[in-house]
Amino acid sequence: MKKKLSLIIAGMLLMALLIPFGVLAAGKTEIEFWTTETEEARMAVIKELVKDFEKLNPDIKVNVVAVQENDVPTKLAAGMAAGMLPEVVEMGAENILRLGAEGMMDVKAAGQIIDELGRDDFYKGALKMVATPEGGNYAVPMHGWVQGIWYRTDLFEEKGLEPPTTWENILKAAEAFHNPKERLYGIVIGTDKDSYARQTFTQYALANNARIFDENGNIIFNSPEMIETLDYYAKLAQFTPPGPNTWRDARDLYLAGLVPMMMYSTYIMDDIGISRTGYKGAIVENLVDKTALANVMINKSSATFGQIVALGILKGNKENQVEATKKFVKYLMSDAAYIDFLHMAPGGMNPTRRSIAKDPRYLDNEVIKVYGEKAAEIAAGLDNIGKFGYVKGKVFPEIGKITSQFIIGETIMKMTEHGWSAEKAAEWAQKQMEEAVKQ
């Protein structure tokens, strides 16, 4: 009898160990979360947020997978082929649109979360970037950045140059500063087969009214406006450092004082800001006070370019996984957790919710304080950003199929590295894009 009683007690103790906060461990709902925030410091923050979420929701287990931005298309293709995609993703709008075009995004779940958080609280431009052709949203816009030309106001004043806001002024300044014998270059723009090249090129194209799609969804990359943009971009690339240039080149050369202009997003604010936060290794003292952002580019029209990174829930999950994922997304988008996430890259990650942008806890950050009113002006650009996948209010999710193959970056490389003419490069890209959307 005693032996039987001992076995019962032992069994009860074992059960107690397996029941954290009253939930059977074996009954946990498990979800996978892909994030493009791969840096070690950011991953540490995300893992802490996940740990806090799991404490609040002991019946949910979140597995975090870091994916490099340029590897996302390959990872998605492999996951789709194997039927092993995650439950929730944090990635750029183009990849969200690609998944949406494949019918793989849970539009209903995204809409419910947006409505619960307050649709009017989101910047309209942020919602537009992940909109469906029918007017819904493929995902929940989480954070965004604005791009432009960061430039040295002190050096521009010395040479009596106008701010680099127009095609003419940009090219004039790049030529004036270019002195490769002294390892000084006029500007850094993207010239590699990567996302950075597409991002920097897009703003020039939009400023010239050049588009990939017309209003009916036809690809028009070989249009006169696009050829003109490619030709201008190739001329500007003559004043960049030799070899294909990436965002790393732009950042490093600007911080080192070797270029007076670079194309970059608001993610550079942290790096520039350290020159006034007691950082002893800053090469250019008080660089933040000598820097301005020309985030509007003008030629035939004015253009503002940026990116929205969104949280998307994929279709095909069990009901309990969908509910668990919705809880996780709402947690990441709310209050302290949201602010902690945004502060991983202060200034770079701008909130998509107006209420958070005004929250004293969000504003109470060393980097954001350094920029003062500039920070608010930069963030306000999220309401007016333009991209290739949107034409006069229409959304063309097929842009995701084009961007995932880095066709624009390769087109630029054919001009800058292999001497192709703008006309030849445009025709090649036209055919590549037509093939891409058929896949």
Q: Which CATH class is domain 24-145+306-383?
A: alpha beta
**Coil, strand or helix at 199:** helix
Question: Which residue bears the tokens 């939930």?
Answer: 23
**Which of 121-130, 195-204, 273-282 is modeled with the greatest confidence?**
195-204
pLDDT in tens, 254-266: 999 999 999 999 8
Phi, psi of 102 (to 5 degrees): -85, 0
- Residue 433 · residue 402 · CB < 8 Å: yes
pLDDT in tens, 231-253: 999 999 999 999 899 999 999 99
Find the helix or strand (DSSP H, E) in which 415 lies: helix 407-416
Instruction: Say what the pLDDT of residue 276 is.
Output: 54
Q: What are the distances in angstroms from CA 265 to CA 50, 93, 150, 247, 271?
A: 27, 15, 9, 9, 12
Question: Which residue bears the tokens 């050096």?
Answer: 155
Which residues are within 8 A (CB) of 135 and not within 5 positions of it... i.e. 6 or more apart? none
Question: Which residue bears the tokens 């670079």?
Answer: 262
Lowest average pLDDT, out of 68-82, 166-180, 203-217, 233-247, goes to: 68-82
What's at 386, amino acid-wise?
G
- Say which DSSP state 18 is in: T
In whole angstroms, give the CA distance from residue 123 to residue 252.
32
**Residue 262, strand partner residues:** 150, 188
Q: CATH number of the domain at 147-302+397-438, out of 2.60.120.1270, 3.40.50.80, 3.40.190.10, 3.60.15.10?
A: 3.40.190.10
- Residue 331 · residue 46 · CB < 8 Å: no
H helix count then E strand count, the chain:
21, 12
Instruction: Say what the pLDDT of residue 391 is.
Output: 84
Instruction: Say what the pLDDT of residue 289 is.
Output: 87
261-265 vs 140-152, strand pairing mode:
antiparallel
261-265 vs 297-298, strand pairing mode:
unpaired
Alpha helices in 102-194 (DSSP H): 107-117, 124-129, 153-159, 167-177
- Residue 141: pLDDT band (50, 70, 90) is very high
Find the helix or strand (DSSP H, E) in which 263 lies: strand 261-265
In whole angstroms, give the CA distance from residue 207 to residue 228.
11
pLDDT in tens, 319-357: 999 999 999 999 999 999 999 999 999 888 999 998 998
- Residue 120 · residue 318 · CB < 8 Å: no
Q: What does the radius of gyration of the chain's CA atoms come to, in whole angstroms?
A: 24
What's at 366, amino acid-wise?
E
Give start-end residues of each CATH 3.40.190.10 domain in the chain.
Answer: 24-145+306-383, 147-302+397-438
Phi, psi of 294 (to 5 degrees): -95, 90
Per-residue DSSP letters for 288-310? GGGEEEE--EESSSEE-BEEEEE
Instruction: Say what the pLDDT of residue 64 is.
Output: 97
Total-model pTM: 0.76
Structure tokens at 69: 């931005």
pLDDT in tens, 143-191: 999 899 999 999 999 999 999 999 999 999 999 999 999 999 999 999 9
Calculate mean pLDDT across residues 193-211. Answer: 95
Position 8 pLDDT exceeds 60: no
Instruction: Say what the pLDDT of residue 1 is.
Output: 44
Find the helix or strand (DSSP H, E) in which 212 lies: none
